[in-house]
């Protein structure tokens, strides 16, 4: 029997227990009574919950023909046999708000028609792109199914993968794109999940639980201290090196990205206000913020390239028959005007929030200090109906003057990290793909890393488009760069790209790979990264005397071990 003092203490502690807590406590005491274990030896419920949650995942699928569902069920069975709990989720039934509760979230999703999501997954897809939840606690991976005979191969998977990263989620395994024959690659993807989740579980068991002290992204306030167009006279491109200074110390690593929320062009906002007749200062309540119509259109809402679903809602509000297209809000208003300011106020209510844009950081804390950060921004220009348009964020950033304020945040890229100091690296980064590799080189130079560094860089013309030319040549002279291979496509009759330089150095590339080198690719996804990957596979087949299947398995193993990493867009 308990003494009166202990009994009273027990009553006081257990008085506020829920039913589940009381059941757990009962088992806890029974366990002590039936063994020689002491109270101190028994893990707390919180520690137990941490261990369990670290080995529990959600595997969601979005399907049109049933392939994604069939594959998800098959892979879930494989994963469960390895001791990891799997919750299968159909995206047609999944509540997007539940993403905030997830720890590990993996998606298998197919692409239909012209790059569209499956009809049954469209609600989830649209919600992801039309809302801005903070998913910084979510760890994810995407397996995209598609048919490479179509031009927008695996487009839905690419969109979901990119959007989750923008919302702050941590990509713990790279996007995997599978063609119609997907069995082998999908099984490798499942093995990758097992490997990563198991390692995370082991880490969780060794660590203590610390309370979450803050929510959302850490925002920094900075001033643009320098903005330089890196392209010379004669170039038809504008690529800006932008340096930002802060008073508050920065925290980032080479490979991370800087996130910026761009403001819409003032002239465009003014014309929208003029066309609709709305009072610019009228306070309007939206789901995220209450602000004036002018501030909402300028700072907070996407007006540049509306989703088809938003255009459909616009058509419903205005009572007009509008084709299923994507237009800017201004063009939509010009072609299909609203009847009144009151009607436009309804339109404001359906506009999605502005999404941040990410730029690879091109500086190093070790080399540049903790109150200075650099990015490399190519100004995007394109034609719509013969009218020249600028990319929203690149146009926004390139218009800055020295001394102007800029708010930003740091987006971690844990998959895009330097290896140990003694390991060799091969960097392939044409155009603005050079940005993270400038960071890598400054970092390795500053810390005296022993590993060798090999850079493949390319652009259009040597004279006008050799980004960071003086710096790269200095790195070559000092030995920080072991090799620098260049490809300028417009300087020769036959266009030369980085993959051609790789092919020319095939034997040495293979030796570096066999010696443990890591390969990093940054820049345009299509066609650059695909052409580079094909070339690497050819090198493995030719110099490694491998079959295509063996070369693909070799590259897959490099990817799983973190030695083949891509940051492409």
- Per DSSP, the three-state class of 328 is coil
In DSSP terms, which residues pair with 390 in a beta bridge?
381
Please name the residues in contact with 466: beta carbons below 8 A apart, sequence gap of 6 or more: 459, 486, 488
User: 270: which 2 tokens?
Assistant: 């003014």
CA distances from 188 to 79, 104, 192, 278 (A): 12, 18, 6, 55
255/435 Cα distance (integer angstroms): 9
Q: What domains, with CATH codes, occur in the chain? A: 56-199 (3.40.50.360), 266-349 (1.20.990), 425-568 (3.40.50.80)
Answer yes or no: are the C-beta atoms of 391 and 339 closer than 8 Å.
no
Question: What is the predicted pLDDT for the residue at 288?
Answer: 78
521/472 Cα distance (integer angstroms): 18
Buried b (16+ CB within 10 A) or exposed e, 311-333: bebbbebbeeeeeeeebbbbebb
First to last CA, the chain: 69
112/155 Cα distance (integer angstroms): 9
Residues in the chain, pLDDT under 50: 1, 19-20, 23-24, 27-28, 30-54, 204-215
- Per DSSP, the three-state class of 540 is helix
303/287 Cα distance (integer angstroms): 17
pTM: 0.67
In DSSP terms, which residues pair with 222 in a beta bridge?
246, 406
Answer yes or no: are the C-beta atoms of 460 and 474 closer than 8 Å.
no
Answer yes or no: are the C-beta atoms of 283 and 348 closer than 8 Å.
no
308/327 Cα distance (integer angstroms): 8
306/514 Cα distance (integer angstroms): 48
Give the number of other Cβ atoms within 10 Å of residue 541's Cβ.
17
230/470 Cα distance (integer angstroms): 11
91/123 Cα distance (integer angstroms): 8
Cα 100 from chain centre = 17
Give the number of other Cβ atoms within 10 Å of residue 11's Cβ.
10
Answer yes or no: are the C-beta atoms of 348 and 288 closer than 8 Å.
no
Dihedral sign computed on CA atoms, order 451, 456, 461, 462: positive
CA distances from 174 to 152, 159, 185, 523, 543 (A): 19, 13, 13, 16, 27
- Per DSSP, the three-state class of 386 is coil
Answer yes or no: are the C-beta atoms of 137 and 167 closer than 8 Å.
no
Answer yes or no: are the C-beta atoms of 157 and 111 closer than 8 Å.
yes
Alpha helices in 34-173 (DSSP H): 45-54, 67-80, 122-130, 155-166
What's the chain's length in residues? Answer: 569
Cα 366 from chain centre = 25
Question: What is the predicted pLDDT for the residue at 48?
Answer: 36
In DSSP terms, which residues pair with 234 in a beta bridge?
none
556/558 Cα distance (integer angstroms): 5
- Of 62, 131, 68, 127, which is closest to residue 92 (Cα–Cα)? 62
Question: What is the predicted pLDDT for the residue at 34?
Answer: 42
Buried b (16+ CB within 10 A) or exposed e, 441-477: bbbbbeeebebbbbbbbbbbbeebbbbbeeebeebee
């Amino acid at each position: 029997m308990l003494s009166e003092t202990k009994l009273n203490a027990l009553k006081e502690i257990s008085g506020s227990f829920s039913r589940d807590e009381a059941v757990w406590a009962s088992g806890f005491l029974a366990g002590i009574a039936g063994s020689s274990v002491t109270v101190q030896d028994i893990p707390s419920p919180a520690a137990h919950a941490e261990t369990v949650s670290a080995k529990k995942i959600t595997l969601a699928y979005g399907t049109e023909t049933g392939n994604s569902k069939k594959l998800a069920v098959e892979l879930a069975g494989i994963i469960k046999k390895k001791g990891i709990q799997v919750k299968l989720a159909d995206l047609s039934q999944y509540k997007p708000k539940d993403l905030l509760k997830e720890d590990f979230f993996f998606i298998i999703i197919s692409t239909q028609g012209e790059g569209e999501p499956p009809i049954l997954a469209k609600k989830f897809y649209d919600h992801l792109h039309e809302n801005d939840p903070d998913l910084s606690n979510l760890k994810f991976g995407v397996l995209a199914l598609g048919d490479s005979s179509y031009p927008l191969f695996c487009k839905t998977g690419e969109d979901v993968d990119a959007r989750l990263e923008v919302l702050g989620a941590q990509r713990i395994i790279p996007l995997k794109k599978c063609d119609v024959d997907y069995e082998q690659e999908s099984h490798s993807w499942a093995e990758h999940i097992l490997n990563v989740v198991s390692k995370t579980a082991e880490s969780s068991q060794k660590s203590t639980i610390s309370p979450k002290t803050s929510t959302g992204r850490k925002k920094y306030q900075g001033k643009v201290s320098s903005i330089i167009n890196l392209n010379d006279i004669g170039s038809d491109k504008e690529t800006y090196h932008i340096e930002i200074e802060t008073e508050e110390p920065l925290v980032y690593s080479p490979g991370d990205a800087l996130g910026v929320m761009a403001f819409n062009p003032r002239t465009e906002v003014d014309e929208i206000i003029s066309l609709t007749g709305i009072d610019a200062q009228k306070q309007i309540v939206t789901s995220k913020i209450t602000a004036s119509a002018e501030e909402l259109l300028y700072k907070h809402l996407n007006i540049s390239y509306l989703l088809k679903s938003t255009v459909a809602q616009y058509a419903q509000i205005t009572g007009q028959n509008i084709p299923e297209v994507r237009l800017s809000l201004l063009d939509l208003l010009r072609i299909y005007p609203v009847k009144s300011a009151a009607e436009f106020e309804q339109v404001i209510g359906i506009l999605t929030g502005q999404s941040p844009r990410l730029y690879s950081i091109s500086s190093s804390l070790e080399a540049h200090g903790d109150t200075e950060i650099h990015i490399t921004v190519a100004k995007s220009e394109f034609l719509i109906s013969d009218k020249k348009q600028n990319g929203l964020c690149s146009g926004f950033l390139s218009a800055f003057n020295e001394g102007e304020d800029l708010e930003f945040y740091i987006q971690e890229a844990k998959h895009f990290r330097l290896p140990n100091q003694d390991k060799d690296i091969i960097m392939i980064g044409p155009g603005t793909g050079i940005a993270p590799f400038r960071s890598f080189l400054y970092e390795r130079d500053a810390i005296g890393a022993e590993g060798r560094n090999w850079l493949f860089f390319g652009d259009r013309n040597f004279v006008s488009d050799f980004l960071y030319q003086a710096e790269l040549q200095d790195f070559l002279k000092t030995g920080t760069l072991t090799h620098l291979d260049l490809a300028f496509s417009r300087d020769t009759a036959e266009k030369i790209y980085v993959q051609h330089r790789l092919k020319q150095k095939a034997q040495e590339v293979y030796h570096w790979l066999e010696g443990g080198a890591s390969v990093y690719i940054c820049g345009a996804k299509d066609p650059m990264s695909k052409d580079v990957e094909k070339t690497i596979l050819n090198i493995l087949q030719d110099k490694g005397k491998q079959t295509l299947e063996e070369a693909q398995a070799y590259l897959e193993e490099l990817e799983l071990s973190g030695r083949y990493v891509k940051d492409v867009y």
